A and B are shown apart, each in its own frame.
Chain A
Amino acid sequence: MIADLWLHPGLILMAGALFLPLVKGRFFRPFLLLVPVLAFGAVLWMPKGVFGVFPFLEWDLTFGRVDRLSLVFAYIMTLMCIIGTLYGLHVENPFEMAAAWIYVAGSLGVIFAGDFLVLFLFWEVMAFSSVFLVWFRRRPESLGAGFRFLLVHAAGGMVLLAGIVLLYHATGDLGFHLLDVSRPTLPVYLILVGFILNAAVPPLHAWLPDAYGEATVSGAVFMCAFTTKTAVYALARGFAGMEILIPLGVVMALYGVVYAVLENDARRLLAYHIISQVGYMVAGVGIGTELAINGACAHAFAHILYKGLLFMGVGSVLYMTGKSRFTDLGGLYSRMPRAFVFTLIGGLSISAFPLFSGFVSKSIIVAAGFEDHLYWAAFLLTLASAGTFLHTGLKVPYFIWFGKNNCTNGTWEKAKDPPLHMQLAMGIAAFLCIFIGVYTPYLYDMLPYAATYEPYTAYHVTESMQILLFTALGFFIFLKKLTPEALISLDMDWFYRMGGRVFRLGAGKGMDYLSTRAQQYLGEALPRRLNTFFQSGPARLSLLLIRPLWYLTGVTVKGPDGVEKRFTDTFNRSLFTIGSTAVFTIIMLMVLLFFIT
């Protein structure tokens, strides 16, 4: 009976989130820790198979498709939920943690979803809960960033839904499994767009640095782990081997690196490096071999931990000092030494230093690229990894903890190592980063496919050490070039941040122009011309007919004594003119009437 019982870990988190605001006093913090631990336990003891199938209208909705691919993601996400909750233990606002849990539950819902309807449901839960992690920072900027985040994701969700509906219409199947990536149709592309928006593939990526840079200290720790990695899972499940993902992934890897050079805000820099790192995973999914998918999963696993660690390290500086820009920080090693060490471990892990987690995960994807003879992709990904070390491994630690001291007296006084629970959370993440790097079976045994990889060969270690250490040499030689400046860089969000302004300005000016011109032509010139036309039109028309006759008879036509002048004078004076004008008008009206009806 117990074996048949399947409890969705997302349900545990959602129930926890519902009860959280009711839990008060000394039970609050134990309850905070208990709920994610229970969710993690539910994943640990979860049997494989298909569970939670509910009939709904004409469909069977599957909430629990459990296999190796979903389990590895669920494992690391619930683990990260424990670490993130521990890190955010100081948060007094119960709704912030509740939003974070519902957000994680959304991710888990997507991961265990067996069909597109359930997937879409939880996809939206993620967007609508994580936005609160931005809003709860309660700055005017956060409000704007949150709304932009929500609008972009709502648009992405609509595209995804359109794809799902069209796919169902075409195939009659709602099941979420590998789509036809060799002959993709419109619905497949629409679903792909929905997925890669969440994976932050340029040009659909700008929501990420925009929102993560504005999120709360602990909110950013959650956000950096779930949205993009859930998208990586969805891509690995539905789009393995879709070749367009290889160039997209490589572009992501390089794009993040370029923007990281220009970035002055440490958390936005880390956000750009999420784009870069998720690029490896997207490229891995595109390569699509068993080894590459294993690599994408392994890298997502390692990434959640080291990126969480980095956001915790930099977040602790923000939490203690209120600053996250390099131009407000510097020289803090003596004030926050532990935060420095933890961040450095995160930095070495993301840079794929031997004995750290990135080394055993990132290299699987690069190796899969080389194995598939995709040399350009493999070399460019290696180039991007030099950039990763340059920024996250060197620039972030150097310009916060060393370098020029830009701290004001107030910042310097406030800078101390963060509270114990934050250090503990960082310690656990740092330990796991090293543990994964040292003891490879821990991660490798969890991967979905049987394809094996051995990272610790003499060649690979020497290769990596040369790349990394000579990148470091370049960093110290060109240190002056890398000195952060108090600037921001424009990104694709410009289009929807300034697009509105440009539209308003354009619409205003355009309307002004249109109204002046309308007044000029429709209000003044046209009536004047019509007036002239109806006054002298009949005379002129008659002249047109009669003039050739005059020429034939030989009378003087032009001049003051000419017959033409006399004719027009008579025409203008005579009652006949009025009559003829009336007749003429009636004819015109009838013609108009004819055309209208």
Chain B
Amino acid sequence: MIVDLIEFLRNRLKRVIQVCCVILALLVGFDALLLDKDKAHTAAENMWGFWALFGFVSCVVIIFVSKWFGKLGITRQEDYYDR
């Protein structure tokens, strides 16, 4: 059953991606138009799509900073400690 569902979705990958994009747009749209921002902690959060931007930028920062950090000599061959 699980496998069938996954394959059903995989066979319609393009449609799945489209639906996901629509969901992302709807989420930001909801944030911009309908959401009551009384509960915001800081002024910056009143900008529409603040947390969407925050999430995306966080993701990019984490990937690139970590990769850069790894290149400083942190990543080594697997037999490093056995040599």
Residues of A that sit less than 8 Å from B by CB: 257-259, 261-262, 333-334, 337-338, 340-341, 370, 375, 378, 382-383, 386-387, 390, 457-460, 462-471, 473-475, 478, 481-482, 485-490, 497-498
Contact = CB atoms under 8 A, between A and B. Distances in A.
A511 B51 CA distance: 60
Closest 7 CB pairs of A and B: A474-B59, A261-B66, A467-B55, A470-B55, A386-B58, A466-B51, A337-B2
Contact of B60 (A464, A474, A497): A474
Given A466-B52, A485-B75, A486-B78, A387 B28 contact: no
Contacts of B40: 459
A243 to B, nearest CB: 20
Query: Most B CB atoms within 10 A — which of A259, A375, A485, A488?
Result: A488
Query: Most B CB atoms within 10 A — which of A257, A457, A463?
Result: A463
Q: Main SS of chain A's interface residues?
A: helix
Contacts of A383: 54, 58, 61-62
A466 B62 contact: no
A134 to B, nearest CB: 16
B69 A474 contact: no
B54 to A, nearest CB: 6
Given A370-B41, A467-B55, A458 B36 contact: yes
Interface bin, chain B: 35 or more
Contacts of A459: 35-40
Contact of B51 (A258, A387, A467, A478): A467
Interface in B1-43: 2-3, 6-7, 23-24, 27-28, 30-31, 35-42
A333 B35 CA distance: 38
A270 B39 CA distance: 33
A338 B3 CA distance: 9
Interface in B37-83: 37-42, 45, 49, 51-56, 58-67, 69-70, 73-78, 80-81
Query: Most A CB atoms within 10 A — which of B27, B65, B66, B73?
Result: B66
A390 B39 contact: no
Contacts of B74: 262, 489-490
Contact of B30 (A462, A469, A485): A462
A543 to B, nearest CB: 64
Nearest to B37: A459
Query: Most A CB atoms within 10 A — which of B31, B42, B49, B74?
Result: B74
A245 B3 CA distance: 45
B2 A340 contact: yes
Nearest to A482: B63
A463 B67 CA distance: 27
A462 B54 CA distance: 13
A473 B67 contact: no
B62 A387 contact: yes
B27 A261 contact: no
Contact of A462 (B3, B27, B66, B75): B27
Contacts of A474: 55-56, 59-60, 63
B70 A262 contact: yes
A150 B7 CA distance: 47
B76 A490 contact: yes
A258 B56 contact: no
B63 A481 contact: yes
Given A390-B62, A469-B23, A473-B56, A375 B42 contact: yes
B30 A262 contact: no
A462 B62 contact: no
Given A375-B42, A459-B39, A497-B81, A489 B51 contact: no
Contacts of B60: 474, 478
